Amino acid sequence: MNNLTTLGEFIVDKQKDFPGSSGEFSSLLSGIRLASKIVSQQVNKAGLLSHIVGGAGSENIQGEQQQKLDVIANDQFIKALTARNVVCGIASEENDDFIKINETGRYIVAMDPLDGSSNIDVNVSIGTIFSIYKRKTPVGTPVENEDFLQPGTEQLAAGYIIYGSSTMLVYTTGFGVNGFTFDPGIGVFVLSHPNMKFPDSGKIYSMNEGNFLRSSKGVQDYINYAKTIDEETNRPYTARYIGSLVADFHRNLIKGGIYIYPSTTNAPLGKLRLLYECNPLAFIAEQAGGAASDGKKRIMEVTPTGLHQRVPYFTGNSAMVEKAEAFIAAE
């Protein structure tokens, strides 16, 4: 145990990367760590306790049916972040508008508190996604919409927690990607995946092929390319789609692959949210040697126009993303 590095120790050691924060940034990340432990415990009880399983009987701003654990996770992260007194505002996929907190705080957080929640009842991996920015408005004033509508290039940190066979927290502050596995025996996250990188080449594509005929010709051509036998390029690729963005992304980060959720005829703007899902995972992807695109341009250079803006999304190994972009450009 003496050779293990805990998440708390790692955060403190890396505090020098944010010399002006006076420990505030470390406190913020510690709040996320605490909330993730609580949510992990609730997820692990989902098959035993009826009050945390099933629908909550309400819809979020996107018109999606909320699960009871959606509400629980949202409340836990908001509570933990509010208690730290360093966050001035929170935007959550589960809330209609952003939440104003401490006017003296210097950071804002955008989050999807429980990604893939439709998989809760069938015991499939789900996750949390978060993104951290520095506010644009003056400290000491209420947070405004402009504080949240920043391009992904302005992110200070981003990460995700995956609740699966083990609970892992993966994050970046722009100095590489590191993964920490929760050890329930001692109650701490331990560094288990230092300096995470996409493999040099990928062999997995992750897309809901039920949307194939609703997708553009370029996307269809890429999927057909992925299925074509060609030993020189190690094709056909393997199709793997879980339906939880965090789980699909995490697998592809470790094993090599591309995740695709394109625009479709019934969702012309795409389905995934730019602020809560696409930008955070794009930051991680790029720091791990990968790429993230809307099919035509870099996701992190898209300037948001609304809190719940949706975009098409392609992320994973750089070469695979570039190949998909080439098919789209040629359509």
Asked whether residue 239 falls in the same domain as residue 281, the answer is yes
Has residue 54 got a pLDDT over 90? no
Q: With bands split at pLDDT 50, 70 and 90, how would you rate the model's confidence at 131? A: very high
Has residue 57 got a pLDDT over 70? no
For residue 19, what pLDDT is reported?
52
**Once rounded to an integer, what is the mean pLDDT over residues 47-52?**
49
Q: How confident is the model over 95-124, as pLDDT tens digits?
A: 999 999 999 999 999 999 999 877 877 888
**Tokens 């004033």 label which residue?**
141
Radius of gyration of the chain (CA): 19
Other Cβ atoms closer than 10 A to 218: 19
Asked whether residue 32 falls in the same domain as residue 160, the answer is yes
In a domain, 155, yes or no: yes
Asked whether residue 20 falls in the same domain as residue 72, the answer is yes
**Once rounded to an integer, what is the mean pLDDT over residues 171-196?**
95
Asked whether residue 68 falls in the same domain as residue 175, the answer is yes
For residue 41, what pLDDT is reported?
87
Could you say which of 193, 225, 253 is where a domain stops? 193
Tally the domains of the chain: 2
Asked whether residue 29 falls in the same domain as residue 109, the answer is yes
Q: How confident is the model over 235-287, as pLDDT tens digits?
A: 999 999 999 999 999 999 999 999 999 999 999 999 999 999 999 999 999 99
In a domain, 242, yes or no: yes
Q: With bands split at pLDDT 50, 70 and 90, how would you rate the model's confidence at 48? A: very low
Q: In this structure, what CATH number is given to the domain that contains residue 172?
A: 3.30.540.10
For residue 117, what pLDDT is reported?
79
Q: With bands split at pLDDT 50, 70 and 90, how would you rate the model's confidence at 68? A: confident
As a whole-number percent, the residues of the chain with pLDDT over 90 amount to 79
**Once rounded to an integer, what is the mean pLDDT over residues 204-218?**
97
Cβ pair 180, 7 in contact under 8 A: yes
**Once rounded to an integer, what is the mean pLDDT over residues 217-236?**
96
The DSSP result for 25-78, as a single string, is: HHHHHHHHHHHHHHHHHHHHTTTT-GGGSSEEEEE-TTSPEEEHHHHHHHHHHH
For residue 20, what pLDDT is reported?
57
224 φ/ψ sector (left φ>0, alpha ψ -120 to 50, else beta): alpha
Asked whether residue 184 falls in the same domain as residue 218, the answer is no
Q: With bands split at pLDDT 50, 70 and 90, how would you rate the model's confidence at 320? A: very high
Has residue 52 got a pLDDT over 50? no
Asked whether residue 142 falls in the same domain as residue 223, the answer is no
Asked whether residue 31 falls in the same domain as residue 53, the answer is yes
Give this prediction's pTM. Answer: 0.93
Average predicted confidence (pLDDT) for the chain: 91
Q: In this structure, what CATH number is given to the domain that contains residue 220?
A: 3.40.190.80
In a domain, 2, yes or no: no
Has residue 62 got a pLDDT over 50? yes
Asked whether residue 208 falls in the same domain as residue 189, the answer is no
Q: Which residues form the domain of 295?
A: 204-330
Could you say which of 155, 173, 193 is where a domain stops? 193
Asked whether residue 34 falls in the same domain as residue 70, the answer is yes
Asked whether residue 166 falls in the same domain as residue 25, the answer is yes
Asked whether residue 176 falls in the same domain as residue 46, the answer is yes
